[in-house]
Structure 1
Amino acid sequence: MDDFDLSQALDNPLESDEKEVDSRCFDMTEVHSEIVKLDAGLDLVVSRNPYTMKGVATLLLAANRLKGPLTREGRELRDDELCQRIVDSVIETTIIETAENSSTGRGRIIFKRLRSWECNLTDDENKDIVCTTKDLKLESVTLKGGNGNHKVTFKLGTYFSPGVGQTVVLSIINHNLYISCTMNGNKAEMKLEKCSADQLKSITADGNMDRFLFYNKQRGMNGYMFESVMCSGWFISTSYEKENHPVEMCKVDTACRVFTFSIY
């Protein structure tokens, strides 16, 4: 990690206005005063290339986000996890596009997928998420012994939401089943819907495809809450006490419900 160059994690985000920029390795002695200490074993080196003001702002924001603790569950991050933390901290621009609606003449937001990875979810009561084979519904249960293979492996696809933070789409791995949320009367209802990945490469906020989107809100050090984009104020939750109880959408003030999950 000592020789990792931040520019390698970007698709030219700090692009210069000049047609050509000297990108060769620079003499470290010339920029010694411009080394920013982020954490033990991880430094940020700023070169003297004449970047644009936008590029400088991007770099400063990335450095600020990287100042968080480089640990996970009490252990130091591995090299691959450190690289991913760097990539996540500098993703910016061209994530959101606006297109003019021909009928109203107003702009509409288009969410574009960034990347995805496989993960499992465990709620704050250490219950895992399983999928029933009969009716294909998600339930929370405490798995013991050698039953860990019954837990659902999700594919978590990340998008971007302006002014709020990251949004995600959750699907069951090896199936084209995606978690969705829509209003049914005065209550938000969670379903597993079939949908193709191509349909979710970009999602418009003025359509009904945002039923698959959830705001991924961090709570505490390692906890995350998933709020429906379409149904504001409704969160994915599990039962506080009951085993094999359905995973449902609930308001955060609902009694006996758990709203915080660990992603691993």
Structure 2
Amino acid sequence: MAQKDLFELEICIESKSEYMDFDEPDYSEMTCRCALHEGVQIEIEEKPTTMGQLVKIIIAMQKFKTHHKVQSTMFTEHEVFNIFMDSVVEESVANVVCCDASKTYNKQDNVMECTVCDKLQKSLVKSTIAPVLQAVTLKGGNLHRRVLFHLSSYTPPRCSDLRGQPVCLGIAKSKLYLSCTNVSGTPTLSIEEINDKDTLKTISANNDMDRVLFLRRGTGNSVNTFESVKYPGWFISTSQADHECVDMCVENDASRLKVFTLYDKTVVFDN
């Protein structure tokens, strides 16, 4: 409180004291106003029962003036920032999403039946000599030799950064599945027989079953690539020549064909 304001309050009290009994004061008509700063006033409207209470008010105001600096109605940028942080910004709780450390893949209900051809329209057929696939140009009545695949989709693990849809490529009406395994230090495409299909419902790297998973990536059905989940960077591919085996190759291998087209597509129930 400014010294001038305190002085005005004392004069106001003294002027009223000249006309009252000190033991039984009557302040019923007293109203004192003390301007702290522009736009703010203090009004004393209550009736003290003794002069001692009024003296205590004066002492308290004097202490307030001594220990507290009266601030103007204008705030500094620092004060505005503190008000904003204290009153506007709300505390938020971040939910920590636990990533699936085991990289578990769960099979979905949808299964697509289809045939597969490479970029040169060579069909994937099963060799009559060995358990391998070949890319062959079929004509006329030989189209029945095309392998009918069942593409089963899988839900990817949480927090995964996979670049495609995980799928399993099974040969229809059989227990045969395409798998990528390490042969003499090189990822190789194989046809594997799996008798217990229940092992394919939930696949993880812990049980080594991720060898049958491939990341299908592409535009629509005409441009598809199949990258091994177990060996990232290795893709199912065919040779430029006819009747060659289907195998794996690295992404930058320009001598092999890695893009495939899906034909005869239909949704089936895979039991």
Q: Same fold (TM over 0.5)?
A: yes
How is 1:59-70 mapped onto 2 (pairs within 5 angstroms)?
Answer: none
State the alpha-carbon separation in 2 of the partners of residues 186 and 137 from structure 1: 19
Who is 1:119 aligned against? 114
State the alpha-carbon separation in 1 of the partners of residues 120 and 225 from structure 2: 14
- Give, in angstroms, the shift of residue 200 of structure 1: 0.2
Q: TM-score, normalised by structure 2?
A: 0.56
Q: Which deviations, in whole Å up to 9, do the C-alpha atoms of 1:5-41 show, x marking residues without a partner?
A: xxxxxxxxxxxxxxxxxxxxxxxxxxxxxxxxxxxxx
Q: Which deviations, in whole Å up to 9, do the C-alpha atoms of 1:84-117 show, x marking residues without a partner?
A: xxxxxxxxxxxxx977xxxxxxx42321111212
Who is 1:163 aligned against? 161
- Amino acid in the other structure paired with 1:163: D
Who is 2:224 aligned against? 224
- Rg: which structure is higher? 2
State the alpha-carbon separation in 2 of the partners of residues 118 and 221 from structure 1: 13
Contact 1:130 1:150 survives alignment (8 Å): yes
- Give, in angstroms, the shift of residue 188 of structure 1: 0.8
% of aligned pairs identical?
Answer: 36
The answer to which structure has the higher helix fraction is: 2
Q: Secondary structure at the match of 1:108?
A: coil
Q: Secondary structure at the match of 2:155?
A: strand
Q: TM-score, normalised by structure 1?
A: 0.57
State the alpha-carbon separation in 2 of the partners of residues 166 and 255 from structure 1: 24
Who is 1:174 aligned against? 173
Who is 2:4 aligned against? none
Contact 1:98 1:110 survives alignment (8 Å): no
Who is 2:134 aligned against? 139
Q: Secondary structure at the match of 1:217?
A: strand
Who is 2:211 aligned against? 211
State the alpha-carbon separation in 2 of the partners of residues 255 and 124 from structure 1: 13
- Bigger relative CO (Cα 8 Å, ≥ 6 apart): 2
Contact 1:219 1:225 survives alignment (8 Å): no
- Give, in angstroms, the shift of residue 221 of structure 1: 7.1
- Amino acid in the other structure paired with 1:234: W
Contact 2:223 2:259 survives alignment (8 Å): yes
Who is 1:109 aligned against? 103
Q: What residue ranges of structure 2 are gaps of 5+ in the alignment? A: 1-97, 264-271
- Amino acid in the other structure paired with 2:261: S
State the alpha-carbon separation in 2 of the partners of residues 213 and 236 from structure 1: 12
- Amino acid in the other structure paired with 1:112: N
What RMSD in Å do the two structures reach over aligned CA positions? Answer: 1.9
Q: Secondary structure at the match of 1:147?
A: helix
Contact 2:236 2:248 survives alignment (8 Å): yes
Contact 2:221 2:261 survives alignment (8 Å): no
- Give, in angstroms, the shift of residue 219 of structure 1: 5.0
- Amino acid in the other structure paired with 2:226: F
Please tell me whether residue 202 in structure 1 is matched to residue 202 in structure 2: yes
- Amino acid in the other structure paired with 2:161: G
- Give, in angstroms, the shift of residue 252 of structure 1: 2.1
| Distance change >3 Å, CA 228–CA 255, structure 1 → 2 | same
State the alpha-carbon separation in 1 of the partners of residues 131 and 251 from structure 2: 25
- Amino acid in the other structure paired with 1:253: N
State the alpha-carbon separation in 2 of the partners of residues 134 and 221 from structure 1: 31
Who is 1:259 aligned against? 258
| Distance change >3 Å, CA 110–CA 152, structure 1 → 2 | same
State the alpha-carbon separation in 1 of the partners of residues 220 and 119 from structure 2: 11
State the alpha-carbon separation in 1 of the partners of residues 129 and 185 from structure 2: 28
- Give, in angstroms, the shift of residue 263 of structure 1: 1.4
